[in-house]
Chain A
Amino acid sequence: MIIELIGWKSKGLRAPDIEVKLERSDSSVACVTLIQMPNGTGKTTTLNCLRAAMDGSAESWDAEKVKSFGNTDTPPEFGSFIATLRINHSKRIVIEMTFHFVEGVVTYRTTAGSKIEDNYCPPPEVRRYLDPRFSELLFFDGELANDLISGEKETNAGHVIDTFYGLYHLADLKRKALDSFQDHVRQAGPAKGAAQSARLIGRIDRFRSKLAELEEQTATSVEQKKRLEEESRRIDSAIETHLLQSTQFQEAEQIARDRKELAKTRVEKAFHEIDKIFPNPLILHPFLTKSLGELADNLDKLKLPEFTSRAFFDELINEPDCVCDRPMNEAARAAVKRKADLILGDSINGFLNSLKRTVRTCTDYSGNTEFAKAVQELVSADDDLSQSQSALDDIRAQAAAAGDEEISRQRRKLEEIKGRLEIIDAFLEEATRPTRTGDDEQCKCVDFFKKRVKAMDVELARLSGTLDRKHRTDCLISVIDDAYNRSHLVLKGEVISRANEQLAQILKYNPVEIEDIGRCVKLRNRGGASMGQNLSVGYVFLAGLLHGGGNQFPLVVDSPVGALDDIARRNLGQLLPKLVKQMVAFVIPSERQWFADPLAESSGGDVLFLTHLRINEHTKDIIQRLGGRAACTSESGIVLEGKEPFFALGEDVNE
């Protein structure tokens, strides 16, 4: 599926009346279009309209929101925004939004080829890609790419995959099944206890909501813990490096560190030694040797195991005559059976022989102190480790006291991380433990809420006579969950593999690899990447997703490099044309520097430079000075095409 943004036109809105054409005379679109719009030119209005045109979301805007798009100086009755897309290099789709400012509604008209519909009605083959859940990936600010890596905000990288591959339909089906069952229960009317059912339904909803909240919190906490632990290790390493560079503490740090490493090795060795001897009960509990020896002796005295085979007596019972030739009557059989019952079976005899053999051939462990000694060695090694860690801490404290600001700062950070980890650990301990007696609605134990919800669901089904429906619904949900997990895993693997191939080529001087995609994109062996690196990986991830498998979608980005420094901007400028087939980036003048030139160079000149200005007293002179070709002009706005006016616009231009 190839979708290209060809252009748009706005009239009667807050933004100036203009038309922007991205299609060139040869019908191609530029790899990158940079649209420079100083503050107040209507960038936000334009972006919101573009997105609403593509995903149809304006149909659900309230009146206040609709009216906010109108020109406040001379409010007209109507406004319009028209976006044009091209599908698979051929079919055009024109989506027109008409703003009815008086009524406060937006109506749509969709033209696809020769077909015109008076509503939002993109053709079926593109509808999914224009769904709001998907358009979220196509329209974003530079923060989204960073959020995907840092995971600090709401953006969830795993959900991005779900959106792209349509896995959210599985979640929708699951939700539909659950809601339908709830409706079924409500409509079935309780077989008995209406009030009881109503109370139970309320309780289930409350518990389910709490469960979802706790599960979400647990997942977030686990990720946070991992990140904090990585950060802690990174800081520790930084402190070590810093101290090793300091003449005052270098030697002491090295000695303490070496001692700690030795102690660690000693502890590991001690654990290993214990593990080797641990399974032998005679070493663990030497007194057992005597006990088993006595058992074996007594078995010998009692002549156990038997020399006689039990099988002999079992067979004799079925013989017509005894071995002494007397007939086997009922009394005789009963006597033989009584005797046979006292004789152990062959397999038991086999076990007893094996036991006696093992005991006889076993080393005499009585008085053995191997386990106790091994534990003593472990305790001693552990003490040594603690002391060496204390010594290291002392050196750092000394360095901080001596005025080493860097060490002080890092130590404060470590303390802060330690504090946060303690809180997270306490929560996770409570959340992940099994439920126990005394747990109630105030606890934070996930297991408690899961079990209670399950029990209450069954009770509700029983009350409403819908147990069978519940069973089938549960079966369907287990199929959906299983299918989701399987497909998500495979698709995630493909996305990671594709992104890593690209990263290996693109970031070869500063390699980074994606390890996994959960709530955020996890990088392998990276304690913390810079914002520039995060942004690069975020773009690679998104672009890999959107351009995988022969697909192409336009990326519309607001402030692609806003918060980056010059080097990061340059790197991103070089990177982006390699990732995308069409990107439309909205920038303000201060974002041009370090970014636009590398971008143009990296794209082989395939960049469309546009400068959009509002026409007023302030900008008239500026526009004259800028020169360039006017791609579009109206009473209220102008679009200038070309590199010259793009770079000539001063950074102090503001409305």
Chain B
Amino acid sequence: MAHRAEQSTVTDINKKQIIDGMPHIEVIKAINEAVSSQDFEPQVASRVLAYLEQAETSEFPNRDREQQLSLILNALPSLGMDELPNIDDL
């Protein structure tokens, strides 16, 4: 499941849509724009879309959701060590 989700690029999703028109093309566009506006890796968008695509089918048990969520989070930038907030500022 993880491997299959990993391979779901945006282009693949556009081509192979399991569900006709879902996620909606505007949702796909919005996710791509939201990711690129924050300078995140394009992988983030494709992994989020893969999650949504799976959610549409309802054959998406919780274990697989956790796995796909991990993939999404891994693609996002980490908190650099020098960015750790000063505890005194909290």
**Chain A residues in the interface with B (C-beta under 8 A):** 1, 124-125, 127-128, 131, 165-167, 169-170, 172-173, 176-177, 180, 455, 458-459, 462, 467-473, 475-476, 478-480, 482-484, 486-487, 490-491, 549
Could you tell me if A472 and B65 are in contact, using CB atoms closer than 8 angstroms? no
Question: For residue B33, which residues in chain A have a CB less than 8 angstroms away from its CB?
Answer: 482-483, 486
A614–B39 Cα distance when bound, in Å, is 66
Could you tell me if A475 and B76 are in contact, using CB atoms closer than 8 angstroms? yes
Assuming A124-B19, A173-B52, A490-B30, what are 8 further A-B pairs, CB within 8 angstroms?
A127-B57, A169-B23, A180-B69, A468-B79, A470-B79, A482-B30, A483-B48, A491-B24
Question: For residue A483, which residues in chain B have a CB less than 8 angstroms away from its CB?
Answer: 27, 30-31, 33-34, 48
Query: Nearest Cβ in chain B — how far from A490, in angstroms?
Result: 5
A124–B57 Cα distance when bound, in Å, is 5
A167–B73 Cα distance when bound, in Å, is 20
CB-CB contacts of B52-66 with A at 8 A, as 1s and 0s? 100111110000011
Could you tell me if A462 and B90 are in contact, using CB atoms closer than 8 angstroms? yes
Question: For residue B21, which residues in chain A have a CB less than 8 angstroms away from its CB?
Answer: 1, 549
- A-B CB proximity, top 6 nearest: A482-B34, A487-B30, A471-B79, A486-B30, A483-B30, A483-B34
Could you tell me if A169 and B34 are in contact, using CB atoms closer than 8 angstroms? no
Could you tell me if A473 and B31 are in contact, using CB atoms closer than 8 angstroms? no
Question: For residue A472, which residues in chain B have a CB less than 8 angstroms away from its CB?
Answer: 73-74, 76-79
Could you tell me if A165 and B35 are in contact, using CB atoms closer than 8 angstroms? no
A294–B22 Cα distance when bound, in Å, is 75
Could you tell me if A125 and B90 are in contact, using CB atoms closer than 8 angstroms? no
Question: For residue A131, which residues in chain B have a CB less than 8 angstroms away from its CB?
Answer: 58
Could you tell me if B37 and A482 are in contact, using CB atoms closer than 8 angstroms? yes
Could you tell me if B31 and A479 are in contact, using CB atoms closer than 8 angstroms? yes
Which among A176, A473, A480, A491 has the greatest number of chain B C-beta atoms within 10 A? Answer: A176
A170–B90 Cα distance when bound, in Å, is 30
Question: For residue B5, which residues in chain A have a CB less than 8 angstroms away from its CB?
Answer: none
A167–B72 Cα distance when bound, in Å, is 18
Could you tell me if B73 and A473 are in contact, using CB atoms closer than 8 angstroms? yes
Could you tell me if B87 and A128 are in contact, using CB atoms closer than 8 angstroms? no
Question: For residue B72, which residues in chain A have a CB less than 8 angstroms away from its CB?
Answer: 476
Could you tell me if B24 and A479 are in contact, using CB atoms closer than 8 angstroms? no
| Contact A490-B26, Cβ < 8 Å, known A173-B52, A475-B76, A479-B48 | yes
State whether the Cβ of B1 lies closer than 8 Å to any Cβ in chain A.
no
Could you tell me if A459 and B90 are in contact, using CB atoms closer than 8 angstroms? yes
Could you tell me if A475 and B27 are in contact, using CB atoms closer than 8 angstroms? no
Could you tell me if A487 and B73 are in contact, using CB atoms closer than 8 angstroms? no
Query: What number of residue pairs across chains A and B have CB atoms under 8 A from each other?
Result: 119
Question: For residue B34, which residues in chain A have a CB less than 8 angstroms away from its CB?
Answer: 478-480, 482-483, 486
Question: For residue A470, which residues in chain B have a CB less than 8 angstroms away from its CB?
Answer: 79
State whether the Cβ of B11 lies closer than 8 Å to any Cβ in chain A.
no
A82–B11 Cα distance when bound, in Å, is 40
Could you tell me if B79 and A467 are in contact, using CB atoms closer than 8 angstroms? yes
Could you tell me if B19 and A128 are in contact, using CB atoms closer than 8 angstroms? yes
A484–B20 Cα distance when bound, in Å, is 20
Could you tell me if B35 and A124 are in contact, using CB atoms closer than 8 angstroms? no
Could you tell me if B77 and A487 are in contact, using CB atoms closer than 8 angstroms? no
Q: Which of A166, A455, A458 contacts B27 (CB 8 A)?
A: A166
Could you tell me if B90 and A487 are in contact, using CB atoms closer than 8 angstroms? no
Measured CB to CB, the nearest residue on chain A to B65 is A176
Query: Nearest Cβ in chain B — how far from A110, in angstroms?
Result: 13
A1–B56 Cα distance when bound, in Å, is 15
| Contact A166-B44, Cβ < 8 Å, known A173-B52, A486-B34 | no
Query: Nearest Cβ in chain B — how far from A626, in angstroms?
Result: 44
B interface SS class: helix
CB-CB contacts of B23-53 with A at 8 A, as 1s and 0s? 1101101110111011010001000100110
A177–B74 Cα distance when bound, in Å, is 13
Query: What are 15 residue pairs bridging A and B, where the CB atoms are less than 8 Å apart in the complex?
Result: A1-B20, A124-B57, A127-B56, A131-B58, A166-B24, A173-B69, A458-B85, A472-B76, A476-B76, A480-B34, A482-B37, A486-B29, A486-B34, A487-B30, A490-B26
Could you tell me if A170 and B73 are in contact, using CB atoms closer than 8 angstroms? no
Query: Nearest Cβ in chain B — how far from A532, in angstroms?
Result: 33
Measured CB to CB, the nearest residue on chain A to B52 is A169
Question: For residue A476, which residues in chain B have a CB less than 8 angstroms away from its CB?
Answer: 44, 48, 72-73, 76
Question: For residue A491, which residues in chain B have a CB less than 8 angstroms away from its CB?
Answer: 24, 26
Question: For residue A469, which residues in chain B have a CB less than 8 angstroms away from its CB?
Answer: 73
Question: For residue A1, which residues in chain B have a CB less than 8 angstroms away from its CB?
Answer: 20-21
| Contact A169-B56, Cβ < 8 Å, known A1-B20, A472-B73, A479-B31 | yes
A486–B52 Cα distance when bound, in Å, is 16
Question: For residue A484, which residues in chain B have a CB less than 8 angstroms away from its CB?
Answer: 30
Q: Which of A165, A473, A475 contacts B38 (CB 8 A)?
A: A475
Could you tell me if B57 and A487 are in contact, using CB atoms closer than 8 angstroms? no
Question: For residue A128, which residues in chain B have a CB less than 8 angstroms away from its CB?
Answer: 19, 22, 56, 58
Could you tell me if B44 and A487 are in contact, using CB atoms closer than 8 angstroms? no
Question: For residue B24, which residues in chain A have a CB less than 8 angstroms away from its CB?
Answer: 165-166, 487, 491
Could you tell me if A487 and B85 are in contact, using CB atoms closer than 8 angstroms? no
Could you tell me if A180 and B19 are in contact, using CB atoms closer than 8 angstroms? no
Could you tell me if A170 and B27 are in contact, using CB atoms closer than 8 angstroms? yes
Measured CB to CB, the nearest residue on chain B to A168 is B55
Query: Nearest Cβ in chain B — how far from A161, in angstroms?
Result: 11
Measured CB to CB, the nearest residue on chain B to A167 is B27
A166–B24 Cα distance when bound, in Å, is 8
Could you tell me if B38 and A166 are in contact, using CB atoms closer than 8 angstroms? no
Measured CB to CB, the nearest residue on chain A to B37 is A482
Question: For residue A480, which residues in chain B have a CB less than 8 angstroms away from its CB?
Answer: 34, 48
State whether the Cβ of B2 lies closer than 8 Å to any Cβ in chain A.
no
Which among A127, A170, A177, A549 has the greatest number of chain B C-beta atoms within 10 A? Answer: A170
Could you tell me if B79 and A455 are in contact, using CB atoms closer than 8 angstroms? no
Question: For residue A125, which residues in chain B have a CB less than 8 angstroms away from its CB?
Answer: 18-20
Could you tell me if A468 and B51 are in contact, using CB atoms closer than 8 angstroms? no
Question: For residue B79, which residues in chain A have a CB less than 8 angstroms away from its CB?
Answer: 467-468, 470-472
Question: For residue A458, which residues in chain B have a CB less than 8 angstroms away from its CB?
Answer: 85, 90
Question: For residue B23, which residues in chain A have a CB less than 8 angstroms away from its CB?
Answer: 166, 169
Query: Nearest Cβ in chain B — how far from A141, in angstroms?
Result: 27
Could you tell me if A170 and B40 are in contact, using CB atoms closer than 8 angstroms? no
